[in-house]
Amino acid sequence: MDDLTYTLRQLCQRNCDGSHNTQADRMRSLTLVARQLREAGFRQLKASSLKGKHVQALMDRWQAEGLSSGTIKNRLSHLRWWAEKVGKAGILPADNAQFGIAERRYVTNISKARELGSSLEQVTDTYVRMSLQLQAAFGLRRKESLLFQPHYADRGDHLVLKGSWTKGGRERIVPITTAQQREALQAAHGLAGSGSLIPAHKNYIQQRHVYDGQCKRAGLSGMHGLRHQYAQSRYEALTGWPAPAAGGPSVTELSPKQCVEDRRARQTISRELGHERVQITAIYLGS
C-alpha cells in the first residue's frame, strides 16, 4: 500500500463523519483517487500533500472519461472533505460551476413516475416482488425495501425506517394512509416474519444482485420512478389537485391559499421521502 492510500485511510478512520454508508463511500472514493494520482505520475504523496495541481489532474481525467456530472460532484465532495481535514479547504472552489459542471436542474415538469403494472407478474423471486410492492406503496428506495423489517417498521398508523436502512443514516417516519399500504404490509409480515426482506441464506449484496437481475428480466427499469409515483399520489391526496408533473397547475397558477397548501404538502413529502431540502420535491412533483 502506497503512502497516500495509507494516510488517507488513517484520515478516514480518525474522522468518522456521516453514516456508515457515507464513510464507506468516502473510503472507496479516496482509495480510487490515490490510485489515479499514482497513475498520473504523482509519487511519494501523503494526505497532507494535496495541491491544486492534483485536483486539476483528477478533473481532467474524469472529464476525459465522460463521467456524469453527478459522479464528478460526488467525487469532488470527497476531495473537499479531504482538503478540509488537512487544512487546505481553499484548494477547491466552493462552486462546481468553476469546474464547468452544470448545476443540477430540479424542475422539469416531465413526470418520471411509473407503476409496476403487469410486469410484476414476471418477477419470480418472492422477496424481490415484495420489495417492489413496498417501494410502490411507501416510496422506499431500493436499499430500504431490501433491508425492510416489517416487525420493526410497522407501528400501526406509520412506519419507522431505521437509519441503517436509509440514505444518510437518518431515521424517518412514513405514514400509513391507505388500505393498499396496509395490505402490502400484511403480505410483508407474512413473508419476512421476524426477519427482513432478504432471505436468511443471503446477505444484502447478494439479494441486491437478485433484485437487479429480476428487474432486468422483467423489463422493469427506472424503479426510482416508483418514488415519483408515490410523491405525486401523496401530493394529490394532501392538496386535492394533481402535481404539476402529473398534469396539475403550476405553482404560478395557484391562488395564495393554494400556494400555502402546496408548500405544506411539499414539506410533508420531502420528509416522507427522506430529503432535507424541500426544493428537491420539484424533481418528483414539478413546479
In eight-state DSSP terms, residue 197 is S
Q: pTM score > 0.85 for this model?
A: no
Cα–Cα nearest to 92, from 52, 33, 42: 52
Handedness of CA 179, 180, 182, 187 (dihedral sign): positive
Place of cell 489515479: 36
Task: Tell which phi-psi region holds residue 168, choosing left (phi > 0), alpha (psi between -120 and 50) or beta.
Answer: left
Whole-angstrom Cα distance, residue 32 to residue 127?
Answer: 34
Handedness of CA 168, 70, 133, 124 (dihedral sign): negative
- Reduce the DSSP state of residue 173 to 3 states and report it: strand
The chain-wide mean pLDDT, for the chain, equals 91
In eight-state DSSP terms, residue 105 is P
Whole-angstrom Cα distance, residue 116 to residue 136?
Answer: 8
* pLDDT tens for each residue of 208-261: 999 999 999 998 887 889 999 999 999 999 999 999 999 999 999 999 999 999
Range with the poorest average pLDDT among 53-62, 121-130, 134-143, 256-265: 53-62
C-alpha pair distances (Å), 188 with each of 47, 74, 90, 149, 256: 47, 34, 50, 8, 42
Structural contact between residues 237 and 177, judged by C-beta atoms closer than 8 angstroms? yes
* pLDDT tens for each residue of 188-204: 999 999 999 999 999 99
Cα–Cα nearest to 235, from 171, 173, 174, 285: 285
Is the pLDDT confidence value at 105 over 60? no
% of the chain with per-residue pLDDT over 90: 71
Phi, psi of 238 (to 5 degrees): -80, -30
Q: Which three cell numbers stand for residue 254?
A: 395557484
